[in-house]
Amino acid sequence: MLKYSLPLLFLFFFNDVQAQRNLIPFVNPLIGTEKMGHTYPGATAPFGAVQLSPDTDTIPYEKDGKYNGEVYNYCAGYKYEDKSIVGFSHTHFNGTGHSDLGDFLIMPTVGALQLNPGIAADTKSGYRSAFSHHTEIAEPGYYKVMLEDDNILAEMTATTRVGMHQYTFPKSDQSHIILDLMSGIYNYDDKNVYTYVRVVNDSLITGYRQTSGWARTRTVYFAMAFSTSFFEYGQKNYDQRQVYNGFWGKFDQRKNFPEIAGKKIRMYFNFKTEAAEKIKIKFALSSVSQSNALENMNAEINDWDFEAVKKKTQESWNAELNKVIIDATDDVKINFYTSLYHTFINPTVYNDVNGQYKGLDQDVHHADGFINYSTFSLWDTYRALHPLLNIIQPSRNSDMVHSMMAHYEQSALHMLPIWSHYNNDNWCMSGYHCVSVIADAIIKGVYKGDPNLALEACLTTARHRNYEGVGFYTDMGFIPADKSGISVSNTLEYAYDDWCIAQLAKKLNQNTIYNEFIKRASNWENNFNPESGFMQPKLSDGSFKKDFDALNTNGQGFIEGNSWNYSFFVPQDPVKLIQKMGGNKKFISKLDSLFSMQLPDAFFAETEDITREGIIGGYVHGNEPAHHVAYLYNWTNQPWKTQSEVRHILKLQYKPTADGLGGNDDCGQMSAWYVLSAMGFYPVAPGSDEYALGSPAITNASLKLENGNTFTVNTDNQSDKNVFVKSVLLNGKILNKHFIHHSDIMNGGTLKFIMDSKPQKK
Amino acid sequence: MLKYSLPLLFLFFFNDVQAQRNLIPFVNPLIGTEKMGHTYPGATAPFGAVQLSPDTDTIPYEKDGKYNGEVYNYCAGYKYEDKSIVGFSHTHFNGTGHSDLGDFLIMPTVGALQLNPGIAADTKSGYRSAFSHHTEIAEPGYYKVMLEDDNILAEMTATTRVGMHQYTFPKSDQSHIILDLMSGIYNYDDKNVYTYVRVVNDSLITGYRQTSGWARTRTVYFAMAFSTSFFEYGQKNYDQRQVYNGFWGKFDQRKNFPEIAGKKIRMYFNFKTEAAEKIKIKFALSSVSQSNALENMNAEINDWDFEAVKKKTQESWNAELNKVIIDATDDVKINFYTSLYHTFINPTVYNDVNGQYKGLDQDVHHADGFINYSTFSLWDTYRALHPLLNIIQPSRNSDMVHSMMAHYEQSALHMLPIWSHYNNDNWCMSGYHCVSVIADAIIKGVYKGDPNLALEACLTTARHRNYEGVGFYTDMGFIPADKSGISVSNTLEYAYDDWCIAQLAKKLNQNTIYNEFIKRASNWENNFNPESGFMQPKLSDGSFKKDFDALNTNGQGFIEGNSWNYSFFVPQDPVKLIQKMGGNKKFISKLDSLFSMQLPDAFFAETEDITREGIIGGYVHGNEPAHHVAYLYNWTNQPWKTQSEVRHILKLQYKPTADGLGGNDDCGQMSAWYVLSAMGFYPVAPGSDEYALGSPAITNASLKLENGNTFTVNTDNQSDKNVFVKSVLLNGKILNKHFIHHSDIMNGGTLKFIMDSKPQKK
């Protein structure tokens, strides 16, 4: 997968950032694009609002108009297995399990104009093109591929709010740029609401696209500038609806008509090109207005120097990646820096260069004193992504909490975000895990805003009785299974979230609130069945529901997990959980079973979001609920099992190949798990300042912290075989526990792991 | 129709506007609501952005879902003949021949909740109610009616941007306010695009409604405040489309859920009312944002005093109406002031109190130094409405030209408006008559902006070769009938418009432009067939099209008129027209025929927009193309025929009854014709500073001009029988022509008509 030979790497420095290593070659954005990773390979700046990436097939209909069920596979627009590229669109999620975006698809073609994308089996049937991975290069902030049908070289890069395209055409009198404003990801329910385009002059257009999909109410404004004037242009409206349209009486709207509107628009721009002539496009986005999009464009890219834009973006990528310098095997380096890359592409910047953004209340707001972020996949990312950012991106994570607070202030429901992107909450997944992110950021001293207002937002959210069973949960301490299909996982998640609120209240000396929420934090006990040793759904009458199946992920009261995985979901109190499960020995035995059991084939058929490889025994790493579970051995007398299982997962679930991710990257959560675990520590319960130690997969890691300190993880004798920790020294002193504190990291210093091939059973 | 006895009128003064007469009782907004007038009877402030008016039936489908063809009759939402009111919506056109608007329909009900409007034949089938004209009062700025089904008294008033409702309920535990966000005028093609509502608290909601109808791309934002807290609320989405909607998994959205979005939404708000309890609503609009709507509301109505708002609005109406004080018979007074009212309700204010508005380019703009207006029905209103405003509302007309220039600057097509409302051009009708309004305003010294920029805008518009035949027109001097269905009327209209541009160029000493356009101004001659004496369609080869029928309005090359009417459309050069038509005698004979011919019944069946009463002989007053024709006798030696025909038209086409208008009021053009003609003068060719004299229907008229001067029209011996002018004195001096100049009016003075029962054949 590496595009450069390794020996060259360490010789290569950017001229103007002398102290930095060039880590670009260790990032392979193609990792996770095959199977279930749902990553996108295209160009984006760190935390960029634009994700300019190839879409290989997002068209959910067969030729006969029947839905082909393929939407899920195209959450990121691109499938490595595909043989054709439909075009390059400007917005993509990284690793989600539901889809949206794919706005403003651009495709260059030559020859007879084709406005339909055509079908994969016959790329000549439309504007799409065959391509091969041999010509494909994917780097942070850069993507390149040869479009074979028409022999057009496509290259792209991006700044935070602007995508830049560079197409090298053959000689032709019929060279086209297609702008497909109908195309999008998750279009099978016809999410297009409205489109508007204004041709300002022969090299600039502006407009917007409005959709109602995963984000129910979403409008993206754009400005699109061409490096070369088109000599003609036109459009076709594929909407069959006939509305009064006086335009038609006055003009031929099909060609060279500069004011276009409708539901399903495809446009084309015609050029005459010389051999190897480059046509470049700047494509800027805004959530506010066309003029803001134009302002974003002019502020971020003020000329047509594609190479300079690419260089600058890759420099900013290097600056971000250099926050952690590791020594490790090549595979680990690629996994590590690709993971780090994936943790730095979301959440995404969501305000214009002038500070404006469209808020959750659909009005325009100004981000005062912070960068506003969106794309909060919180059920996933509270676990490891935001804790990781608290260490290596505290300023950004502070701004992310600011953004969550702005969302709360704009919420008619008076709730913090659940799963928000653009000015919407799609309410995906469960819990109110924003409170975990907020508590963790405040407890770790990261959040710069008012902690008391933040606590108030957490309380209001957690007390929203109408929200998915919270009323029952508050009154009864559990959610009756006859009232909700995900009664158990919700209770477990609420209990953890409530523990976070309690920790925050404690920090702010709000004892009454602490007492209320620390009590709620024990509600997980209500779903624990001491007879079976599992978390089980309970009915309104207090009895456990019959026909319980701890392996089944459907209809058992859980979401994206079964009881085998969820029964360990008490990150806030493993001690009590161990006690409930019968003590140290029984608990270890149960954990052992999880990691070693043989699952029936049927299990895989019915499990979403993950591949067979995403499961180890019965432990599902491809989904998140058990992400902390390997670390629970640390609370037993066999912590070496944490060490081996963590290394096991690092090895099996992350590979430096397109199919290298065992499940959806889930907006960086899978990758954040890798980054932290590979360095040897993991936040089992965000909201606490403790990290459980595991087994580092790197030889050396150096974290350059924003406060100027450096925290180093050293290893002695670390190898694929030497996965067991013999001893750990913090700043030279033996550590007699399997945990470190946040302050141990932030104060700088050295954590040294002395490794061995055998467990340290002392 | 009068709601007060006349003797009281002159005793009634508003306390704080001592010098003003109370003219409110002479305005009857119900005039024109029956048959084809298409006026609305509801409450609006002068030139108000809100037109809060009852909709009696805008539902274009029968119970079986079939389109019932009724849309045209409901251009204003209200038909006098109807027996039920569906509700009260906030935007209406005055007298258009195509429809749109009808946003945000509100209806109060009691008893079991009904969210469907029901059908007219059975008002109990839905939320609509029976009503009777006996309980109905319509005044400038005030409308009142008893909703009989539920015994609820409905009253409404309006400020410029805010509608205020007052509903007097019976005692009930089930009192409802329905907010129908699906309802609209011209909905038969399903113009609803999107709707969003946010329940801010228990007495305030905000949101927007987006439609694609006559205005292709239109979003109206609102803020709605209740004087009393609702105790619960809810919604139903009538859109069958199923989009991903995570909301449903988390919440019951039907009831008390504060964030609502979709295509077809109806909402309800529940109250418990005591007997005679009033629930008041303030409903503010904005084209920019919810927060602007709220700002508009708070700026214009800061309390809940309905009577005070009504009083203030009626005072502002009196201030406007007092610009012309007349003595006349009661019927003439009612016709005159109702006409004046109709000339003062459009164009409509189109900017928020903070100056912002959504422009034609769909971006937000700020009206700097002018009030931005919309609703420009220019094919109609260039003829008499804007010339009238140049006399009695010059500041507003200057701002209207400013608004047209802003439209031009925002136009991707670089064109002045044709028929614009909100931030759209619907391109309705023909010509580019904006240039007439602009030339007239500049030539008459009214426009305060840069005249050279205005000329440039006129030129760019008139040279837009892709616009409806302009290319042919420019190259060939006419539009070939084989290229366009309205080739003749277009050529005639362009020729007149070009003459206006020539006049403007002359005024600005642009001789080259003057020469170019004065030449184009004679293009009408190319469609004149000297053999038939009619304007006729001409083919590309220069020959006149066969099978010509001068009476037929369809397929003969004209729009909303036949050759009989359009053949006189050379307002810029009647002298030449007379000469072409064979001189004085033949011309008179032809005009006589127009006014006296007997039309076949078939003619009426195929004529749009006008009633049988809207036609005198073959002269069609119900449509605009011949509005100047009665004045053409002034260019012959029988000017007394102008006098008798004008009086004839004033008498026949305007009556103080609901069915009193002979055709669509066309955004005030029909009414402006009345106001001017009733005072004895009319602008045959706007762009010239001349007015042709007719025969005044008033006894006395006093115009209070903005410059402080007063212009008075006096009559001696004027009566229904004494319609002929014996002599005219301007400031005491005999006038030896049938024309006065604009300056004669604006300088103040007295125009005295001495009337007689016999024509003055000297």
- Per-residue pLDDT band at A18 (split at 50, 70, 90): very low
What's the gap between Cα B561 and its chain centre?
19
pLDDT at B8 over 50: no
State whether ipTM is beyond 0.85.
yes
Among the partner residues B213, B291, B427, nearest to A247 by beta-carbon distance: B427
Using a CB-CB cut-off of 8 Å, the residues of chain A touching B487 are none
Per-residue pLDDT, averaged over A503-507, amounts to 98
Residues, chain A: 762
Instruction: Tell me the CA end-to-end span of chain A in Å, nearest whole number.
Output: 42
Query: In sequence order, what are the residues at sequence separation of 6 or more whose Cβ sits closer than 8 angstroms to the Cβ of residue A138?
Result: A28, A29, A30, A41, A42, A144
Rounded to a whole number of angstroms, the distance from the CA of A241 to the nearest CA of chain B is 8
Question: Is A249 in the B-facing interface, judged by CB distances under 8 Å?
Answer: yes
Q: Quick one: pLDDT at residue B690? A: 98
Residue type, position B715, single letter: T
Query: In sequence order, what are the residues at sequence separation of 6 or more whose Cβ sits closer than 8 angstroms to the Cβ of residue B550?
Result: B532, B534, B556, B562, B563, B564, B567
Nearest of B440, B345, B456 to residue B408 by alpha carbon: B456
What is the pairing mode between strands B710-716 and B749-756? parallel
Q: Quick one: pLDDT at residue A236? A: 94
- Per-residue pLDDT band at A180 (split at 50, 70, 90): very high
| Mutation for B interface: A186, A216, A260, most B CBs within 10 A | A216
Using a CB-CB cut-off of 8 Å, the residues of chain B touching A427 are 246-247, 249-250
Long-range contacts of A233-238 (CB under 8 A, 24+ apart): A233/A199, A233/A267, A233/A268, A233/A269, A233/A270, A234/A267, A234/A268, A235/A197, A235/A260, A235/A265, A235/A266, A235/A267, A235/A268, A236/A115, A236/A265, A236/A266, A237/A262, A237/A263, A237/A264, A237/A265, A238/A182, A238/A264, A238/A265, A238/A266
B162 φψ region: left (φ > 0), alpha (ψ -120 to 50), beta (else)? beta
H or E element at residue A167: strand A162-169
Q: How many angstroms separate the Cα of B536 from the Cα of each of B430, B529, B550?
A: 17, 6, 8
Report CB contact under 8 Å: A208, B362.
yes
- Per-residue pLDDT band at A3 (split at 50, 70, 90): very low
Residue with tokens 């009193």: B660
Give chain A's mean pLDDT.
Answer: 94
Per-residue pLDDT, averaged over A626-652, amounts to 97
Q: Please state the φ and ψ torsions of residue A262, each to the nearest 5 degrees.
A: 160, -170
Write out residues 21-80 of B within 8 Å (CB-CB) of A. Answer: none
Per-residue pLDDT, averaged over B53-61, amounts to 85
Rounded to a whole number of angstroms, the distance from the CA of A260 to the nearest CA of chain B is 10
Q: Quick one: pLDDT at residue B20? A: 86
Q: Please state the φ and ψ torsions of residue B728, each to the nearest 5 degrees.
A: -130, 135
Instruction: List the single residue in A with minimal CA-CA distance to B257.
Output: A413
Rounded-to-integer distance, Cα B154 and Cα B167, Å: 5
- Per-residue pLDDT band at B12 (split at 50, 70, 90): very low
Among the partner residues A200, A210, A212, nearest to B412 by beta-carbon distance: A200
Rounded-to-integer distance, Cα A432 and Cα A430, Å: 7
Question: Is B199 in the A-facing interface, judged by CB distances under 8 Å?
Answer: yes
pLDDT in tens, A724-734: 999 999 999 99
Using a CB-CB cut-off of 8 Å, the residues of chain A touching B427 are 246-247, 249-250
Among the partner residues A190, A198, A418, nearest to B361 by beta-carbon distance: A198
pLDDT in tens, A663-673: 999 999 999 99
Rounded-to-integer distance, Cα B528 and Cα B569, Å: 11
Question: Is B252 in the A-facing interface, judged by CB distances under 8 Å?
Answer: yes
Per-residue pLDDT, averaged over B30-58, amounts to 96
Nearest of A119, A430, A443, A531 to residue B250 by alpha carbon: A430
Q: Quick one: pLDDT at residue B612? A: 64
Question: Is A291 in the B-facing interface, judged by CB distances under 8 Å?
Answer: yes
Residue predicted with more confidence, A356 or B1: A356
Rounded-to-integer distance, Cα A179 and Cα A269, Å: 8
Q: Quick one: pLDDT at residue B80? A: 97
| Mutation for B interface: A98, A204, A362, A416, most B CBs within 10 A | A362
Q: Quick one: pLDDT at residue A224? A: 98
Question: Is A460 in the B-facing interface, judged by CB distances under 8 Å?
Answer: no
Question: Is B189 in the A-facing interface, judged by CB distances under 8 Å?
Answer: yes
- Per-residue pLDDT band at B244 (split at 50, 70, 90): low
pLDDT in tens, A415-473: 999 999 999 999 999 999 999 999 999 999 999 999 999 999 999 999 999 999 999 99
Query: In sequence order, what are the residues at sequence separation of 6 or more whose Cβ sits closer than 8 angstroms to the Cβ of residue A162?
Result: A50, A282, A283, A284, A285, A296, A297, A300, A301
Rounded to a whole number of angstroms, the distance from the CA of A220 to the nearest CA of chain B is 13
Alpha-carbon torsion A99, A105, A108, A111, what sign? positive
The residues that bridge with A268 in the sheet, in sequence order, are: A178, A234
Report CB contact under 8 Å: B258, A425.
no
Question: Is B240 in the A-facing interface, judged by CB distances under 8 Å?
Answer: no
Instruction: Give the 3-state secondary structure of residue A287.
Output: coil
- Per-residue pLDDT band at A600 (split at 50, 70, 90): confident
pLDDT in tens, B114-144: 999 998 889 999 999 999 999 999 999 999 9
| Mutation for B interface: A67, A237, A239, A244, most B CBs within 10 A | A244
Q: Which two tokens stand for residue A671?
A: 């990758």
Give CA torsion, residues B739, B745, B749, B754, to 10 deg.
30
Alpha-carbon torsion A661, A662, A667, A673, what sign? negative
Nearest of A609, A593, A206, A213 to residue A379 by alpha carbon: A609
What's the pTM? 0.95
Using a CB-CB cut-off of 8 Å, the residues of chain B touching A186 are 244
Q: Quick one: pLDDT at residue B42? A: 98
Using a CB-CB cut-off of 8 Å, the residues of chain B touching A413 are 257-259
> ∠ CA B179-B183-B185 to the nearest 5 degrees?
135
Rounded-to-integer distance, Cα B176 and Cα B271, Å: 6
pLDDT at B611 over 70: no
Per-residue pLDDT, averaged over A63-87, amounts to 85
The DSSP call for residue B533 is T
pLDDT at A10 over 50: no
Neighbours of B349 (CB within 10 A): 23
Using a CB-CB cut-off of 8 Å, the residues of chain A touching B256 are 466
What's the gap between Cα A356 and its chain centre?
24
Give DSSP secondary structure letters for B243-309. Answer: ---HHHHH--TTBS--EEEESSEEEEEEEEE-TTEEEEEEEEEESS-HHHHHHHHHHH--S--HHHH
> Which of A240-259 are b and which e, b meaning 16 or more Cβ less than 10 Å from the residue's Cβ?
eeebbbbbeebbebeebbbb
Nearest of A361, A349, A501, A504 to residue A431 by alpha carbon: A501
Among the partner residues A242, A289, A427, nearest to B247 by beta-carbon distance: A427
Rounded to a whole number of angstroms, the distance from the CA of B351 to the nearest CA of chain A is 17
Q: Quick one: pLDDT at residue A607? A: 61
Rounded-to-integer distance, Cα B308 and Cα B745, Å: 37
Q: Which two tokens stand for residue B217?
A: 């791309």
Q: Quick one: pLDDT at residue A65? A: 67
pLDDT in tens, B491-536: 999 999 999 999 999 999 999 999 999 999 999 999 999 999 999 9
pLDDT at A12 over 50: no
Q: Quick one: pLDDT at residue B16? A: 40
Q: Quick one: pLDDT at residue B18? A: 46
Rounded-to-integer distance, Cα A165 and Cα A147, Å: 14
pLDDT at B573 over 90: yes
Question: Is A670 in the B-facing interface, judged by CB distances under 8 Å?
Answer: no
Per-residue pLDDT, averaged over B152-164, amounts to 98
Class of residue B236 by CB neighbours under 10 A (exposed 0-12, middle 13-18, buried 19+): middle
Class of residue B543 by CB neighbours under 10 A (exposed 0-12, middle 13-18, buried 19+): exposed
- Per-residue pLDDT band at A2 (split at 50, 70, 90): very low
Q: Please state the φ and ψ torsions of residue A158, each to the nearest 5 degrees.
A: -155, 145
Q: Please state the φ and ψ torsions of residue B49, each to the nearest 5 degrees.
A: -75, -20
Q: How many angstroms separate the Cα of B751 from the Cα of each of B701, B730, B731, B748?
A: 10, 5, 6, 10
Using a CB-CB cut-off of 8 Å, the residues of chain A touching B241 are 189-190
Chains A and B form CB pairs within 8 A to the count of: 129
Give chain B's mean pLDDT.
Answer: 94
Rg (chain A; Cα; Å): 26
pLDDT at A5 over 50: no
Task: Confirm if B78 and B120 have CB atoms less than 8 A apart.
Answer: no
The DSSP call for residue B220 is E
Rounded to a whole number of angstroms, the distance from the CA of A584 to the nearest CA of chain B is 38
The residues that bridge with A144 in the sheet, in sequence order, are: A137, A155
The number of C-alpha atoms within 13 Å of B526 and in the hemisphere containing its C-beta is: 29
Cis peptide before B347 (omega within 30 of 0): yes
What is the pairing mode between strands A419-421 and A376-377? antiparallel
